[in-house]
Structure 1
């Protein structure tokens, strides 16, 4: 055993140390392989020792999300609302790219911890500080959805909220048959799907949510919010126009 490992085993266990180890382990082996037993082994303690700091696996995952939130930069002081929101969202996305497990865990959380609520509250505050009405801010937050956390929910994501398991790539002959059938039955889908290549290294999770696609959608939304804000939009007027 190395001296570093020996020192780590002698370090008193704490909640922060448990969460830091859980994040590092999930980064290394993936969230599916993370278990209380394996985490205890990494820390050099018996599994029961962990339960003094986290009540169960769900609380461990909540704590890991809190650790993720702590990596997101605070709002930039003195920036306009648009720059402040954009920079914060992209900071959240960088955190997700550092931790490939994070998107899946975020999508499965039902308990809003104080850290998560604090992030949401300060995120809303950027719009309110920019002069947005409470009414418009309410609808803005719905429109942003998961982009507040730095990712875009795909149209065909796994309905259970997790990332689908990677599927084996079929041989070229089978792919040719599949493309031919798609071209005949669903030509519009195939045309759009093949229109642009994606940077796999910048994708959060799986699918088409690479950096370019994410920023493209984010900037469209921010420009739209700006137009509504400067036009003094309200949901009352919006509903009236929709009925005409």
Structure 2
């Protein structure tokens, strides 16, 4: 039985329900990451005893499942996408924005499919944009390919943000601090491809990089579906 199948216990003197529990857990994670979330800390945030929570949630993993589904409400499109490209692009960008608001989400993306009602609604909205395509296996590979791209890109971006906070150096400051060492290494002539990248490559912001890579992936999916790139 999943956490969504299990009925909530009767109301007791101190008001409590899964919605309040999940809201408290999300607030803790937003403040300190997943390591800041435990049933004990959530109970303390709600000013109830830890044992009260076990009537609603059995494990911390169930709590994480509920937290992920709560954030999927932010990823759900407000309107039905016009086509599969719009659906996949919107899904990717909304997931990225949600992860930047809730960095802990990056740690829980991927792996087993999310099965909460909000996550299922997101999947339904995405898959329904492929109406008329009978080969569901091709559709699934397309969705998986785009999901693999934006999951990796989001995790990298969040990792960069965490590194910036941990070192106290912005990206530009870190590059300047690392510059002398990198220059010495490139001057050895052992890394010509990297030297070309450093000297001739264009540095872009995270959102531009994300959007460009996403467009390339969508063009590749379009080619597989027999459609021209946009």
Q: Is residue 64 from structure 1 mapped to residue 67 from structure 2 by the alignment?
A: yes
Q: Aligned Cα RMSD in Å?
A: 3.4
Shift of 1:150: 8.8
Identify the range of structure 1 (218-227 vs 19-28) with the bigger mean alpha-carbon deviation: 218-227
Given candidates 183, 197, 201, the residue that maps to 2:203 is 197
Counterpart Cα distance in 2 of 1:172 and 1:92? 32
Q: Given the two structures, how large is their TM-score scaled by the length of structure 1?
A: 0.68
2:77 is aligned to 74
Q: Which residue of 2 aligns with 1:129?
A: 131
Match of 1:98 in 2: 101
CA distance in 2, matches of 1:50, 1:100: 25
Secondary structure at 1:77's aligned position in 2? coil
2:181 corresponds to 1:177: yes
User: Deviations along 1:165-205, whole A, 9 cap, x unmatched?
Assistant: 73646897775124412553333235436734353xxxxxx
Where does residue 47 of structure 2 map in the other structure? Answer: 44
- Cα pair distance change 1:103/1:54, threshold 3 Å: same
Distance 1:229 1:75 in 2: 26
Aligned equivalent of 1:146: 148
- For residues 89 and 112 of structure 1, the distance between their equivalents in structure 2, rounded to whole angstroms, comes to 16
Q: Could you list the runs of 5+ residues in structure 2 that have no partner in the other structure?
A: 1-12
CA gap 1:112/1:135 in 2 versus in 1, 3 angstroms: closer
Secondary structure of the corresponding residue to residue 45 of structure 1: coil
Tell me what 2:3 maps to.
Answer: none
CA spacing shift, 1:143–1:27, aligned 2, 3 Å:
same
Measured at CA, do residues 103 and 190 of structure 1 come closer, stay the same or move farther in structure 2, by a change above 3 Å?
A: farther
Taking a change above 3 Å as real, the CA distance of residues 228 and 41 of structure 1, as seen in their structure-2 partners, is: same
Whole-Å Cα distance in 2 between the matches of residues 222 and 58 of structure 1? 33
Q: Is the 8 A contact 1:96 1:150 kept in 2?
A: no
1:22 corresponds to which residue? Answer: 25
Task: State how many pairs are aligned.
Answer: 205
Equivalent-residue separation in structure 1 for 2:99 and 2:113 (angstroms):
19
1:72–1:91 contact (8 Å) kept in structure 2: yes
CA contact (8 A) 2:88 2:143 kept: no
Matched, 1:188 2:207: no
How far 1:42 moved relative to its partner?
1.2
Is the alpha carbon distance of 1:111 and 1:58 closer, same or farther for their aligned partners in structure 2, counting shifts above 3 Å? farther
Give the Cα separation in 2 of the matches to 1:173 and 1:91: 34
